[in-house]
A and B are shown apart, each in its own frame.
Chain A
Amino acid sequence: MSLPVKHVLGILADNLEYRRSVIPMSAARATAWARGLDIPFGGETVLYTGQMYQIIPSINSLSAMMAKVENSWINRFMGLGRLANRIIDLSWFMTLGVGKQQKEYNGILRNIALILKSAGVEFGYLYSQDLYSGALVFDEGIDDVFRKQARRVYDIFKTNGVKQVITVDPHTTSILKDVYPSVVEGFDLTVKSYLEVLAEKNIPCRRRLDMDLVIHDSCVYTRYLDVVDQPRKLLQSACATIHLPELSGRLTHCCGGPLESLFPARSHEITVKRVEQLAECGRSAVTMCPICLACLKREAGDKIDVKDISEYLYDCYCQPGK
């Protein structure tokens, strides 16, 4: 038995249409990462999170629940769940007990902001107006709901006088860079991932990493956006020794994440396979996508230590030398 695709997609689409995110969250929670960083509101250049890192703890709870429901009689009632979700935001329950994880994922965003500051990049943040981009709904082909969200997000950028957008994850980057121009008339923003921005800056390393790292490339960064060399350059400049699995770069193997919400068991199989491939090359793996990070971390166990690239970059480009 598999999850009823129609109802699961219906819940995600309803959430985006009526609550502005597939996994809705309060503005306080979505912006908590920026507390105390003194990032100005708005400006011509903004750091746009698209709420991707912030929603991962809820996605982890959701995935665990979906995996339990996938082969259970309960999934016959998913249609009723969709109706209930229109009245009560069921995704709120996914936020219960995720405080520790939230702190960890917020830390990634803080790292990214601090590295950019350290590199001399001037940027603002739209705080409560930094909305989800609609990436998942686009991938699932729910086009009219996606178009509305794209228009909403773009209008916020324009109202606030934004000209350049710095993104933090591959999915949001691809949606803004490649998809928005085809659905939003007159789209004229410059979009770059923070990894591209940092690689162009040639910032000096303050503290050598001196460690072996296995790179797990993101499918979207490599095959959609051609971002392959930038993370390697940043890590190698910090004296990390890079190890690559056979399937890497433009031939990278998927983490399984895109199937989490509809086919958890298949997603799990793919993730396990990828963890094995990475573990053959070393003990410390580095990711650059929140979905990859969440999936691989969940299955890594004691086989391999998985961290977001920003953790390493913060250590070597922001911390004082030893």
Chain B
Amino acid sequence: MLKTNPAFAASVKTASNFNAAACINCGSCTALCPLGVDLHPRTLFRYVLIGAEEKLLENTSVIYSCLLCRMCEDNCPADVPIAENIRSLRSYINRTRFGLMKG
């Protein structure tokens, strides 16, 4: 069963520049990704938006395997800051799971 935590999305957003509200779920990002089908930014963003923290964390290695090359972002019809969003998710995990930050 998918567990949701309404505070999760707020927690990611307040601590970073995460902004995926404009994502229209079109899949252009995945189609262009040099990593192929492993990385679905739109799926990761959807997990954040609905507060599915556990599902997001199951994809930790996917989050850290993004190249931040911005191929997806340059071709996103909705101008979603995909690379910065991925970086924000890393920042969230570093802070809350890995203990790499004090803040």
Q: How far is the CA of A256 from the CA of B66 in the complex (A)?
A: 10
Q: Is A13 an interface residue (CB 8 A)?
A: yes
- B71–A142 touching, CB < 8 Å: no
Q: How far is the CA of A212 from the CA of B93 in the complex (A)?
A: 46
- A254–B34 touching, CB < 8 Å: yes
Interface string of B42-74 (1 = CB under 8 A from A): 000000000000000000110011011111011
| Number of residues on chain B facing chain A (CB within 8 A) | 28
- B34–A253 touching, CB < 8 Å: yes
Chain B residues contacting A229 (CB-CB under 8 Å) are none
| Docked complex: B11-42 residues within 8 A CB-CB of A | 16, 34-35
| Docked complex: A204-263 residues within 8 A CB-CB of B | 219, 223-224, 250-251, 253-254, 256, 258-259, 262-263
- Nearest CB of chain B from residue A248's CB, rounded to whole Å: 12
Chain A residues contacting B90 (CB-CB under 8 Å) are 140-141
Chain A residues contacting B70 (CB-CB under 8 Å) are 219, 223-224
Assuming the contacts A140-B94, A142-B100, asked whether A266 and B69 have C-beta atoms less than 8 A apart, the reply is no
- A139–B87 touching, CB < 8 Å: yes
Per DSSP, are chain A's interface residues mostly helix, strand or loop, or mixed? helix
Q: How far is the CA of A224 from the CA of B97 in the complex (A)?
A: 29
- B61–A141 touching, CB < 8 Å: no
Assuming the contacts A139-B68, A141-B94, A219-B67, asked whether A2 and B61 have C-beta atoms less than 8 A apart, the reply is yes
Chain A residues contacting B103 (CB-CB under 8 Å) are 143-144
- B71–A223 touching, CB < 8 Å: yes
- A142–B60 touching, CB < 8 Å: no
Q: How far is the CA of A271 from the CA of B68 in the complex (A)?
A: 15
- B73–A223 touching, CB < 8 Å: yes
Query: Most chain-A Cβ atoms within 10 A of its Cβ — which of B16, B91, B93, B102?
Result: B91
| Chain A residue at minimum C-beta to C-beta distance from B90 | A141
- B34–A141 touching, CB < 8 Å: no
Task: Indicate which residue in B34, B88, B100 contacts A13 across the interface (CB closer than 8 Å).
Answer: B100
| Number of residues on chain A facing chain B (CB within 8 A) | 29
Q: Is B101 an interface residue (CB 8 A)?
A: yes
- B71–A254 touching, CB < 8 Å: yes
Q: Is A90 an interface residue (CB 8 A)?
A: no
Q: Is B89 an interface residue (CB 8 A)?
A: yes
- B65–A143 touching, CB < 8 Å: no
Chain A residues contacting B35 (CB-CB under 8 Å) are 266, 270
Query: Most chain-A Cβ atoms within 10 A of its Cβ — which of B60, B93, B94?
Result: B94
| Chain A residue at minimum C-beta to C-beta distance from B74 | A223
Kindly specify which of A3-11, A94-102, A103-111 makes contact with the partner chain: A3-11
Nearest 3 A/B pairs, CB to CB: A141-B90, A141-B91, A219-B69
Given A219-B71, A223-B73, A259-B67, 19 extra CB contacts under 8 A? A2-B61, A5-B61, A5-B98, A9-B100, A140-B90, A140-B94, A141-B89, A144-B101, A144-B103, A223-B70, A224-B70, A253-B34, A253-B71, A258-B69, A259-B65, A263-B65, A266-B35, A270-B34, A273-B34
| Residues in A lying within 8 Å of B, measured CB to CB | 2, 5-6, 9-10, 13, 138-145, 219, 223-224, 250-251, 253-254, 256, 258-259, 262-263, 266, 270, 273
